Structure formats: C-alpha cells, structure tokens
Amino acid sequence: MTDTTRKPILILGGTGKTGRRIAERLTARDIPVRIGSRNGTPSFDWLDRETWDPALEGVGAAYISYYPDIAVPGAAETVEAFARLAVERGIRRLVLLSGRGEPEAQRAEEMVKASGADWTILRCSWFSQNFSEGFLVESILEGEVALPVGAVGEPFIDADDIADVAAAVLTGPGHAGQLYELTGPRLLSFADAVAEIGRATGRDIGYRRISHAEFTETVAAHNLPPEFAWLLNELFTEVLDGRNAMLADGVQRALGRQPKDFSAYATETAASRIWSN
C-alpha cells in the first residue's frame, strides 16, 4: 500500500459533484479521507489562506477542485499558491480538476505542473450532472431549457467517471505527469441532451435557443452571486463555441474502459425522480 492510501487524502470541494463521489469511493475502500470545505474538520476556505495549512496537515495526497470554478479570473494564481504550499509541506501527489477550452484553467494546469508536485490533470468536458445537480434542474422541471447555445456538439462526461478516474489516480501508480482529457463517448448538442432526458422521463421537455442578452437577463433574475453570473456567461458565450466538439480518450487511458454514455446517465437519473414534478 502506498503512503497516499495510509495517510488521509484531502479532497477540496469534497461536498461537490466530483468531490463527494471521490470521497464515497475512497471511504468504501477504507482509505482515510479529509473533506476540504468550509464545513469540514478542519475547515478549508479558498478565500482564507489561514485555513490551508491545517487542512494539509498530515495528508498524503490532495484532489484540487477550485470553487466556484477554475475558469474564474484569479483562480490560477490561487491554485498555484496552494500547490506550492502543499509541496513545501511534503505533499507531492496533487490531482487537479480542470476544464476543457478554458484559458484560466489551462493557466492553472501549467502552474501546478511547475510546482514540483507529482501532478495529474483531469481536464473535463461539460458534466452530465449539470442537468440534475445544477442550475438546469429547475428548467427541466418547468418543461423547457433555454440557453444561448445552438447545434454545437459537447461530449458530456459523467461525474461518476471523473470520480472513478480520480480515485484511481490518487491511490495507484503510473499516473504522475499524465494529462487525462475526460469526455463522454459521443457528441450531443444541448437540444439532443434535453431530448434524451425527455425520453428517459417520459415527459415533453423542450429546448429553445435564446440570445446572449436574454440569457444575461435570465441569470440576473436569479440573483446569483456575481462570480456565478460571470461564470455562466463565460461558459455559454466563450467555451461552448465548438472548440470542445471532439472526443478524447482520458477515461479509456486511465481506467481501461469506455466512459458512460449520456443515455445511461439520463435513464439512471430519471429513476431517481429528480426530474419529476
């Protein structure tokens, strides 16, 4: 057994979409976990660097998920500072959750690489779970998803696949220095994805392309924190422009199997009744 599985593994964002799934997988294998969140013990807050040292104390590896998102301005510098502190404290095994086609995310990747850590990058496409554990749930329940995105294809990745890769990378050999670009097995437009959710639920759920101005008004009406409003506009006006309309083989390389298809995600999630009124 390696040192990283004898000592606790710090999971930043440990209550989020990927973090809690990673924690579940490691705990099921009796690997000690430390949840890095404001409500964790000890508490961890990206905005309060005084919390970083206590969270790193005695851990063997760290999973870095930046809040609210690695695409926001200033994220790269903050991630760099954390990675360098971790290495100074003798924690070399760092796994970074990154995003495809996001300049700030790619800057953060380079900074982690330069930190002296035994790094692994998980560069992910759009999460399937954004439809069930994010801001789109309300729209699906209302029967129409309206976004400023046309027919561009996105290889939606399942958060369970990300967690499987992260758990393998954090605890096994052979992953240091690897960039795993994680995508699903096929391209779907947002309209395609919504149609699959409709079929899985047996409901009539529509998709409507709206203008960026309409989308900005919609976001403003939800009174989201400024960084979330900025992030949504950035994703839908910049990143979803076709630059990510290609498949990658990160899941296959890391796990030796195919990633989960969106239809399987839609069927499993529909069974949970999250999309049922």
Predicted confidence (pLDDT) per residue in 261-272, tens digit: 999 999 999 999
Is residue 194 within 8 Å of 46, Cβ to Cβ? no
Beta-strand (E) ranges in the chain? 9-12, 33-36, 61-64, 93-99, 118-124, 144-147, 178-182, 206-209
Whether residue 238 is contained in a domain is answered as no
Euclidean distance between CA atoms 51 and 44, whole angstroms: 5
0.75 exceeded by the pTM? yes
Distance from the first to the final alpha carbon of the chain = 47
Euclidean distance between CA atoms 126 and 245, whole angstroms: 11
**Residues 6+ away with beta carbon under 8 Å from 48:** none
Residue 142 has pLDDT above 90, yes or no: yes
Whether residue 217 is contained in a domain is answered as no
Whether residue 152 is contained in a domain is answered as no
For residue 22, the model assigns a pLDDT of 98
How does strand 9-12 pair with strand 93-99? unpaired
What's the CATH code of the domain at 108? 3.40.50.720
Interior/surface letters 100-132, b for 16+ CB within 10 angstroms, e for the rest: bbbebbbbbbebbbebebbbbbbbbbbbbbbbb
pLDDT tens per residue across span 19-36: 999 999 999 999 999 999
pLDDT bracket for residue 5 (50, 70, 90) = low
Domain that residue 105 falls in: 3-125+157-183+246-259
Whether residue 252 is contained in a domain is answered as yes
Q: Which residue has the higher pLDDT, 66 or 233?
A: 66
**Residues 6+ away with beta carbon under 8 Å from 160:** 21, 260
For residue 219, the model assigns a pLDDT of 80
Whether residue 208 is contained in a domain is answered as no
Phi, psi (degrees; rounded to nearest 5) at 149? -130, 130
Peptide bond into 68 cis (omega under 30): yes
Q: Averaged over 151-164, what is the pLDDT? A: 97
Whether residue 16 is contained in a domain is answered as yes
What are the Cα distances from residue 30, in Å, to 24, 26, 64, 136, 174?
Answer: 10, 6, 21, 35, 21
How does strand 144-147 pair with strand 118-124? unpaired
Instruction: Fill in the DSSP letter of residue 51.
Output: G
Residue 224 has pLDDT above 90, yes or no: no
Burial class of residue 211 (count of CB atoms within 10 Å of its CB; 0-12, 13-18, 19+): exposed
Whether residue 112 is contained in a domain is answered as yes
* Number of domains composing the chain: 1
Whether residue 275 is contained in a domain is answered as no
pLDDT tens per residue across span 237-264: 778 889 999 999 999 999 999 999 999 9
Euclidean distance between CA atoms 197 and 179, whole angstroms: 31
